[in-house]
Structures are given as C-alpha cells and as structure tokens.
Amino acid sequence: MNITICFDKLDPAPWVQGLQKAFPEATVSAWAPGAPPAQHAIVWAPPQQFIDEQPGLQTLFNIGAGVDALMQLKLPPALKVVRLDDAGMSVQMAEYVCHAVIRHFREFDGYDADTQLAKWSYRKPRSRADFAVGVMGLGVLGERVAKALQVFDFPVNGFSRSPKDLPGIRCFSGAQSLPEFLQATRVLVNLMPLTAETENILNKDTLSQLQKGGYVINVARGKHLVDEDLLAFIDSGHLAGATLDVFRTEPLPADHVFWQHPKITVTPHTSARTLREESIAQIVGKMQALQRGEPIRGVVDHQRGY
C-alpha cells in the first residue's frame, strides 16, 4: 500500500515519519509533482495538480475537521473524502468557547481594562438564565462544546441541519427553525461547516434576531461572517461584542479594524489545533478498517459538502 502526504505550508516530514512508524507495512512518502501513484493520501489544502496526478487515489484524509477547501477542487465522484472525527480538537474547542463565554459573562475584559488604570472596581453579578448560549452546528465539535457549557449552568440551545436529541439542550433543526433558535439566543457560537448554503450566514438578517446585548463567537470559518454587518450591530449597541478566531483573510491584515476594536477579541485561528499523534492513530485505524472492508466514520457527502 502506498500512502502520500500533501500539505500546503506545513512540513510533511514529521507526519511521514509518524505514519510510517504507526503503519510499517505501508510505504509512506511526501508528495512531489510526478510522484508514483498512491492508494491513500493525507492532505491539507492540496493543489488541483495533486488530484489530477493521482487518479488511482481511493481515499483522501483531511487533517482538519473542515473540508471546505477540498470541496473547491475537482474531485472524482468515487474518491472517498474523510475528515477527522476529533483527534484532540473537541476538548480544545470546548476550552476555547467556554473561556470566551465566561470572559464575556463575567465581564473580565472590563476588569482587565480597570487594572491597567490601577482601578479597584466591582460589577454587579449577572444571571446565567439571561445568557442563553446557542451553538450553531452540532457535529463532533459542536456537541462537545454544548455539553461543556452545560457544566456552567448556562441555558444551551443547539442548531443543526438534521434533528438532534441531546439531554438538557434545546435542539432546533432545519432552516425553518433558525429564526426561533436565534431569538432564543444571547451568545451565539458558530461551528457550522462552510458550504454554499452557510457562507455569509452571520449577516444583517440573522444577527439582528439575536437577543439585544448579544455576543458572537466565530470559531468555524471567516466566510460565515459578514464583517461589516457585525461591526454595524456592535457599534449600534445591539450586540455587545465578539470573539473571533477565523477570518476571510488569514493572517488577518494588520490594518483590519477588528484588531483595534475595543469590543472585539481576536485570536489567530487557534481555537482547536490538529494534534499529530492523535490524528495519525485515527487515520491508520480508518485505513486498516477499510482494508477489512468495514465502514468508517467521517466520510464526507460530496453533495452536502461535509
């Protein structure tokens, strides 16, 4: 079995070494133009040339949870695209989102500003019942985030394309229920996959339906958010602010208004990073399952885009 690794702006060497050690009966190599054919590939943002030069590929393993970049390529219909189920990302995402929610709810940003002025101050405690958190996207990461938020006694809403039943979480599904979900939400966490249907979903219409004083946490993709609409609602006072980890252009340009806006927290797409050892173990397990003719999790529906 030949396995090739094709990464954009990432060093493939540690992955080649790790995968070869975990799967010694396979031949593992980093891809270069003109490389011999492979049956399986592990990729991150590969060029179209890679797909075109590897017509014998059976499976394409993506090292991130999102596959929107792959879906922009011309892929053979029979090519199986597989995303990571978790590989250590869900607990990181839960940490990040809980931190962002609690920082906003407890007004720690305000305390930070006061400490810079050597000002000793208190703020009136706020009620968790008034801060319903809506998790938009209930895949592996979204479900872990929703469950983590429950630990802190926030009311939690969940929205997904297909129906979900999660104990203690008020679940909404389908486009027809999106307005009700938004109107029941004060802190919105976006974990939707990026598809043609979800691009620009955080826009003037949807943001206006959040409860007054709402807060936005975007940890999915930058193209979900219409930047100008978010800024308008924050500046008007309808929204209290935002924590943003993903952007339309990355790295975020130094002159972008998000950097300096006092009500926006920016982080450099670091909410959930791929952990190499966990990812290799999961990918090898799936390759071995395919060898045995067994079904695997994480297979992408080409029509839906996730």
224 annotated active-site: no
Bridge partners for 41 per DSSP = 4, 60
Are 98 and 152 in contact by the 8 Å Cβ rule? The answer is yes
Number of H helices, E strands in the chain: 11, 12
Q: Which of 269, 273, 276, 297 is catalytic?
A: 269
259: Cβ contacts below 8 Å, ≥ 6 apart: 252, 266
Bridge partners for 188 per DSSP = 134, 216
CA distances from 67 to 43, 61, 62, 91 (A): 10, 10, 7, 20
Q: For residues 140 and 21, what is the distance between their CA atoms, to the nearest angstrom?
A: 28
Strand ranges of the sheet holding 239-244, from the earlier edge strand across to the other edge = 170-173, 156-160, 133-136, 187-190, 214-218, 239-244, 264-266
- Collapsing DSSP to helix, strand or coil, 258 comes out as helix
302 annotated active-site: no
Per-residue tokens: 211? 């409860």
Number of residues written out for the chain: 306
Q: Give the pairing type, strands 214-218 and 187-190.
A: parallel
Are 101 and 287 in contact by the 8 Å Cβ rule? The answer is no
Per-residue tokens: 37? 């054919």
Q: Which of 104, 161, 186, 221 is catalytic?
A: 221
The residues annotated with a catalytic role in the active site are 221, 269
